Each structure stands twice: as structure tokens, then as C-alpha cells.
Amino acid sequence: MAPDILNSHRLAPNILALDFDGVVCDGLREYWQTAWRAYARCWHVDEAAEPKNLGDRFRYLRPVIETGWEMPVLVAALVQGLSDDEILADWPALVKRLAAEAGKEPKELVAQVDGERDRQIRTNLDNWLALHSFYPGVLDLITRVQQSSTDFFIVSTKEGRFIRQLLAQGGVDVAPEQVIGKEIKQPKYQTLRDLKAKAGGNASLWFVEDRLPALQLVKDQADLQEVQLFLVDWGYNIAKDRQAAVADDRVELLSLEQFSAWQFP
Ligand SMILES: [Mg+2]
């Protein structure tokens, strides 16, 4: 691992872009609750009949999920008795097949997921917020970046309004244009490309993410070769991904201790 991650002799970037879930915020408890309820609605199952231990397996398998509509489908896969190995083997293909077999459209599934979140925020806000926690030191880091000359953005597949609500609860105010969520309807690498273009051709950009596939897609972009990519070791990823990051010279594996010590002049 590069010894300079603590940026002792590396200049701070012009732009710092952070993923949200698994980098800034641990929302696994909320994630399970929302996934289960959305599943119960979509598959017409009694919400109170939550099978025991399913939540633990769901949390373990969370790294396979890229975006919200897959959440209730992962619950369906577990209810149908698929093994962890079957789910981990090729989730991107499996999730499409399971949704198609059940006659569910991603659009309908994500409407249930977001609808459930909106319902919780409207009717049970304190409980909803309490299901989330911020990783130690990360809010302080965001505050430092906000006070520095580095531009700060959250780039997430979660709806921006949920992210801003959570950050506000943590005492961090970010402008709406600094949170680029699912509503933008484009891959993260395109958002990074837009941020870079807006800041001018030579702007340096660091992107911190907990999902290796998202970093790999950035790697594949010929015009984003200068973007510094970091995989966090505390989020929703599996050992195989962390090992792959160590072996990959484009991606640096980052510990929370290193990350929370980053300084921005
Ligand atoms: Mg994430």
C-alpha cells in the first residue's frame, strides 16, 4: 500500500467525491428494514411475518447490490432459498432473471423502496434516522473539506433528498448541488466526468467508494485515467474485492484511520 495515502506529500485534490452508503454512513439496519417492507408489498407477503435470520444473511450479501430496486429482489432470492454462493456468483444476471420471473419491473420495485423511505421519514422520522450511523471521523472530514479550497460532492445511487436529511441530522449542511444521487439517472463515472469538466480540464479528482465494480467502471473510461480511486476497507465490500484493490495499481485500499486523517488546505 502506498505510504503517502495520509497525503503527507500528496497535494489535496481540487475535487473530493465520496460515495455515501458504506463510506460516510452505515445504514445497514435501515437498509434491511426498507428492503423487507418493500419486498412484502411487492410480493404481497405479510410484513409482520419476517423470517428469522434473513436479516443477517441480507446484511452479509449487501455488497452485491448496486442500486435500490435490487433490494427487494435480494430478499426474494433469500426467501426462495438460494444459497449465498449462488447469489454471489453472478448477481447482476440473477437479479434481472428473478425480477423478470416474478413479473416485476425495476421501476415498480424502486418506487416501493423510495415510497417506504418517504413513509418512514413522514411518519417515523426519529426512528428512521436512528437506524443510521456515521462512521467515526467522517463528518469531521466533510466539515474540513467544506472549509477548504477543495470542492466537495457526494456521488451516490441513493436519492439525494435522503442523503441531505441524514447529513443535516449529523450537523453537516451541504448544498443541494453537492449531493448527486439517483435522481440524476446516470452512472457514477458520468457524474465524475461532469464534475471534472465543470471544474476545468486539469482539475484533480479523488473518488472514494466501497463498491469495487463502481471503481472498475471509472477505470474503464479512457478520459478518466487521472482520477484517483480509493476503495474503503470499512464499507459494504467483500474480502475478494479488497484483495483485488490491493493488487490493482489504479485503486488504493483505504482504512478509516487513514481517511479520517486526510487534511485539506
Ligand atoms: Mg456504497
> What pLDDT, on a 0 to 100 scale, did the predictor assign at position 6?
47
* CA–centroid distance, residue 243 to ligand 1 (Å): 18
Q: How does residue 8 score in pLDDT terms, banded at 50, 70 and 90?
A: very low
Contact indicator for 34, 113 with CB cutoff of 8 Å = yes
For the chain, the DSSP string reads --GGGG-SSSPPPSEEEE-SBTTTEE-HHHHHHHHHHHHHHHTT--TT-PPTTHHHHHHHHGGG--STTHHHHHHHHHHTT--HHHHHH-HHHHHHHHHHHTT--HHHHHHHHHHHHHHHHHH-HHHHHHT-EEPTTHHHHHHHHHTSSSEEEEE-SS-HHHHHHHHHHTT----GGGEE-GGG-S-HHHHHHHHHHHH-TT--EEEEES-HHHHHHHHT-GGGTT-EEEEESSSS--HHHHHHHHH-TTEEEE-HHHHHT----
Strand partners, 201: none
* CA–centroid distance, residue 180 to ligand 1 (Å): 13
* CA–centroid distance, residue 67 to ligand 1 (Å): 10
Q: What are phi and psi of 60, to 5 degrees?
A: -65, -40
* CA–centroid distance, residue 97 to ligand 1 (Å): 24
> What pLDDT, on a 0 to 100 scale, did the predictor assign at position 247?
96
- Mean pLDDT for 194-210 is 94
Q: What is the edge-to-edge ordering of all strands in the sheet holding 151-155?
A: 179-180, 151-155, 15-18, 205-209, 228-232, 251-254
Q: Could you name the CATH architecture of 3-26+134-260?
A: 3-Layer(aba) Sandwich (3.40)
Poorest-confidence range of 109-113, 141-145, 172-176, 236-240?
A: 236-240
Mean pLDDT of the residues in the chain = 93
Closest by CA to 19, choosing from 243, 258, 262, 236, is 236
> What pLDDT, on a 0 to 100 scale, did the predictor assign at position 52?
87
Closest by CA to 87, choosing from 110, 70, 111, is 70
Helix 70-79 and helix 91-101, axial crossing angle in degrees, nearest 10: 80
CA distance 148 to 139: 14
Give start-end residues of each CATH 3.40.50.1000 domain in the chain: 3-26+134-260
Q: Which residues surround ligand 1, an ion (CB under 5 A)?
A: 19, 21-22, 210
Q: How does residue 10 score in pLDDT terms, banded at 50, 70 and 90?
A: low
* CA–centroid distance, residue 46 to ligand 1 (Å): 30
